[in-house]
Each structure stands twice: as C-alpha cells, then as structure tokens.
Amino acid sequence: MSGNEQLLVGLVSISDRAAQGVYPDQGLPALEEWLRLAISSAWRSEARLIADDRVSIEQTLIDLVDHLGCHLVLTTGGTGPAARDLTPEATLAVADRLMPGFGEEMRRISLHFVPTAILSRQVAVIRRQALIVNLPGQPKAIRETLEGLRAADGSVQVNGIFAAIPYCIDLLGGPWIETRPEVVKAFRPKSAQRSQPGDGTAVSQPAGS
C-alpha cells in the first residue's frame, strides 16, 4: 500500500433511457456529490453512463478495474427483478470473490424506508485489487445506504456501508481513505488505525498488509 497513492473510484450509472438521452442521468451526479461530502483524503473518479446490457456492464467493470486500476467501483441501477435488471449478474460474472455482507446491509438499511427494498438484488464483489459494490438507483437511496441512519440528535442509529469500505480497501492493498465523521465515520480496528502526523506514535498497518 502506497501512502501517496490516490484513491481512484469508478462510477457506473446503468440505465437504458438515461444512456439514450431520454432523461438526464441522476446516478452519477448523486454519487459524485456524496463522495465529495464524505471523503476528506485525495480521490478522483472515472464515470461511465451505460445501458442495461450485461455484456456492456461486464466490459465496463473489467475496464475500470483491470485497465484503469480503480480501487473502488460503485454502480447504480439495474438491481431489481425486472428482465432488464442485469447488474448483479454482470457483477458476479467478473468477480474473484464475493462480499455478501454489503448486499445484506444495504437491504436492511433500505427496509427502514420502503418495504420494496426486499426486491433489491444488490451484490458486492472483489475483482483483483478492487471492491465493486452495486448501489440502488435513486439518489436518496444511494445516500441512505452509503451514509446510514441518524437519530434527530445526529447520533448514528445504523451504520451505512461506506463505514466499512476504507478498511476493506486497506486489506486489498489500496490507498488510505479518510472520511468526514459528520457524514460517515470510517471504522478500522485499533490494530489498523493510523496515527495523526506529529503525535509521536507509530503508524499501524492493516492486517494482512
């Protein structure tokens, strides 16, 4: 893991009609806006707007990970039960390993808001050095699943899935990710926490690094 390496995030919005220009895409702007609010360390993104086509989705994920070197890929759209919702199948087809906890938690969070969250088929996988996560298609649901639930006083009731992503990227050998705790607080075990510069303590490395 390089301390100077910049996080590269692949953002993929999957929608037939948005890709055809029938209406403006909402997925990519929602992802970009939330990541700008949440991540305080250096990062940049590669964005793609594509149709609900399994071959196109697979090729896009492979290109972002294998050729561009993304550490994290977030997709939005195409995870329901409709015939054209093929994002999970495409994601699983390019996977080296599965990360089932992400899908389980996203559905649990969304069920606080809508009973139809149980229809979601989002998955998360590892391909090479990257974590790929399928997110919901609506901007509000994207924010809720990434950020989690807070009480009226601002305290965290349910952690969003992004709280676990920085440590996952650590374990995959990727760059260190810092978040703004008022949006989402990255969780790392004590053995994997990094000291603040100038405090005189050693930097801990994540398990397996």
Q: Are strands 156-159 and 148-150 parallel, antiparallel or unpaired?
A: antiparallel
What is the mean pLDDT of the segment spanning 24-30?
96
Domains with residue ranges and CATH for the chain: 7-192 (3.40.980.10)
DSSP 27-84: HHHHHHHHHHHHB-S-EEEEEEEE-S-HHHHHHHHHIIIIIT--SEEEEES--SSSTT
The pLDDT of residue 208: 44
Distance of CA 26 to the CA centre of its chain: 16
Cross-strand pairs, 134: 75
In one-letter notation, the amino acid at residue 61 is: L
DSSP 86-103: -HHHHHHHT-SEE-HHHH
The pLDDT of residue 195: 65
DSSP classification of residue 137: S
The pLDDT of residue 203: 41
pLDDT bin (cut points 50, 70, 90) of residue 3 is low
The pLDDT of residue 4: 65
What is the mean pLDDT of the segment spanning 69-84?
96
At residue 70, does pLDDT exceed 70? yes
The pLDDT of residue 153: 82
DSSP classification of residue 116: G
Each residue's pLDDT tens digit, 86-119? 999 999 999 999 999 999 999 999 999 999 999 9
Each residue's pLDDT tens digit, 41-53? 999 999 999 999 9
Q: And the tokens for 186?
A: 């990255």
Q: Are strands 43-50 and 156-159 parallel, antiparallel or unpaired?
A: unpaired
User: Beta-carbon neighbour count of residue 18 at 10 Å?
Assistant: 21
